[in-house]
Structure 1
Amino acid sequence: MSTEVYLVRHGETMFNQLNKVQGWCDSPLTVKGINDLKVTANALSQVHFDNMYSSDLKRAIDTVHLMKDANLVSDIGKIKKLPEFREVFFGTFEGDDINQTWDQVAMAAGIGHEDNVAKIINQVGLREFREATKRADPRHLAEDKDELDERMVRAIDVLRDVTKNEQRVLLVTHGDFIKTLSIKYWNKSDDKHDIIFPDNGSVTRGILHDNGKFEIVDYNVDAEKL
């Protein structure tokens, strides 16, 4: 049996608002973030889910509970947290200014000063962007492409195990993780060119097929348009 997976990006957080790097570090949802999520939750309130899951970071957990509380047609028990679906880890850059961080990454990638992440990725490719992030990190703790790729494969394996006999599930995760997952599993993307960053509260839909394969079929969709 195939499983339809609704990947929802958490709502806007304080660090999003302050333009700070936010991976494994956490910050609370803003009032705007909560209000935007209520729109998503209302749009999905009549969609039946066999289960709901989230990353183990609080911004994702708070988001999934908003989805659960608004849903009128699903009987969801305790939310299972999946740490494999955490955001990308940015090491020493966690909590730093985003533009300053990307400028340091661009310098490490050898392209000079550039603080637009999309332009950096389009010039050097995703693999080199991740490698440059790790090089630029003073402690070299940031996840590189291989480390993140290994975690994404493990995440899909875990999801496959926990969703056996479930036809449709909702999973709250994070922007860069959703984007990188989509580059890997969406046939409209590739490793060389950047795709837009998913919006807070948006839905990216994937299918876990009977044959074990995973594919992204919709990306960064406003829930009201599903």
Structure 2
Amino acid sequence: MTTEVYLVRHGETMFNQLNKVQGWCDSPLTVKGIDDLKRTARALAQVHFDNMYSSDLKRAIDTVHLMKNANTVSQIGKIRKLPEFREVFFGSFEGDNINKTWAQIAKTAGIGYGTNVQKIINQLGLEKFREATKEADPRHLAENKQELDERMKRGIQNLHELTKDEERVLLVSHGDFIKTLTIKYWKKSDGYHDIPFPDNGSVTRGLLHDDGRFEIIDYNRNAESL
């Protein structure tokens, strides 16, 4: 059975609003974040899901419960939390100012693009950006490309096992993780720079096939376009 996966990015959080690095660290959803999610939840209220899943971070868990409570056509039991679908880990930079973090990574990589992360990544490529992030991290805890790739593969394998008898599921995850997953599994992607960062509350759809193959078929749709 092929399983359709609705990947939802969590709503805006306090750290998003305060321009702070937010990977494995957590902060609560804002009022705007909740309001945006309610629009997404209403747009999906008549979509039948066999199950709903979430990253194990609180902002994702709060988001999936908003989706569950608004849905009128699905019978969802206990939400299963999947740590493999956490956000990218930024190590010692967690909770720091985003602009200062990007500037430090650019300095470590030896380029002069300051705080514009898009230009930094376009110059370095995503793999070298991940390596520069790990190198710039004083404790070298940040995930590099290999570590993140391995975690994504484990996540897809685990999801495949869990959803073998499910036709459609919803899974709440995180912006950088969803974007990186899309770069890896979307045929329309030719690299980092043609894909915008997914919006809070947006929906990205994928297909998980019988043989375990995963592909992205639709990216970063907002409530009005669902």
User: What TM-score range do you get, normalising by the shorter chain?
Assistant: over 0.9
SS at match of 1:196: coil
- Where do 1:74-223 residues align within 5 Å? 74-191=74-191, 193=193, 195-223=195-223
8 Å contact kept, 2:183–2:192? no
The answer to whether the aligner puts 1:30 opposite 2:30 as a matched pair is: yes
Q: For residues 12-36 of structure 1, give each alpha carbon's deviation from its aligned partner in whole angstroms, at most 9, with x where no partner exists.
A: 0000000000000000000000000
Change (3 A) 1:110 1:55: same
Counterpart amino acid of residue 162 in structure 1 = L
Q: For residues 37-93 of structure 1, give each alpha carbon's deviation from its aligned partner in whole angstroms, at most 9, with x where no partner exists.
A: 000000000000000000000000000000000000000000000000000000000
SS at match of 2:112: coil
Which whole-Å CA distance do the structure 1 matches of 2:195 and 2:138 have between them? 28
SS at match of 1:193: helix
Aligned-residue RMSD, C-alpha: 1.0
Which whole-Å CA distance do the structure 1 matches of 2:104 and 2:33 have between them? 29
Corresponding residue of 1:72: 72
Percent identity, aligned pairs only?
79
Change (3 A) 1:192 1:72: closer
Which whole-Å CA distance do the structure 2 matches of 1:182 and 1:113 have between them? 25
8 Å contact kept, 1:121–1:194? no
Counterpart amino acid of residue 102 in structure 2 = W
Q: Could you list the runs of 5+ residues in structure 2 that have no partner in the other structure?
A: none
Query: Number of paired residues?
Result: 226
Corresponding residue of 1:17: 17
Which whole-Å CA distance do the structure 1 matches of 2:179 and 2:55 have between them? 15
Which whole-Å CA distance do the structure 1 matches of 2:206 and 2:114 have between them? 33
Cα drift, residue 188 of structure 1: 1.5
Q: Could you list the runs of 5+ residues in structure 1 that have no partner in the other structure?
A: none
8 Å contact kept, 1:204–1:219? yes
- The range that moved more, 194-203 or 74-83, is 194-203
Corresponding residue of 1:44: 44
**TM-score of the aligned structures, taking structure 1 as reference length:** 0.98
**TM-score of the aligned structures, taking structure 2 as reference length:** 0.98
Which whole-Å CA distance do the structure 2 matches of 1:63 and 1:215 have between them? 24
* Greater than 3 Å deviation, 4+ residue runs: 190-194
8 Å contact kept, 1:127–1:191? no
Cα drift, residue 209 of structure 1: 1.3
8 Å contact kept, 1:184–1:190? no
Cα drift, residue 191 of structure 1: 4.1
Which whole-Å CA distance do the structure 2 matches of 1:108 and 1:92 have between them? 15
8 Å contact kept, 1:54–1:82? yes
Counterpart amino acid of residue 108 in structure 2 = A
Counterpart amino acid of residue 200 in structure 1 = N
Which whole-Å CA distance do the structure 1 matches of 2:113 and 2:46 have between them? 48
8 Å contact kept, 2:53–2:81? yes
Which whole-Å CA distance do the structure 2 matches of 1:192 and 1:7 have between them? 19
Which whole-Å CA distance do the structure 1 matches of 2:201 and 2:162 have between them? 23
Which whole-Å CA distance do the structure 2 matches of 1:192 and 1:48 have between them? 32
Q: For residues 170-193 of structure 1, give each alpha carbon's deviation from its aligned partner in whole angstroms, at most 9, with x where no partner exists.
A: 000000000000010011214453
Which whole-Å CA distance do the structure 2 matches of 1:146 and 1:39 have between them? 36
SS at match of 2:170: strand
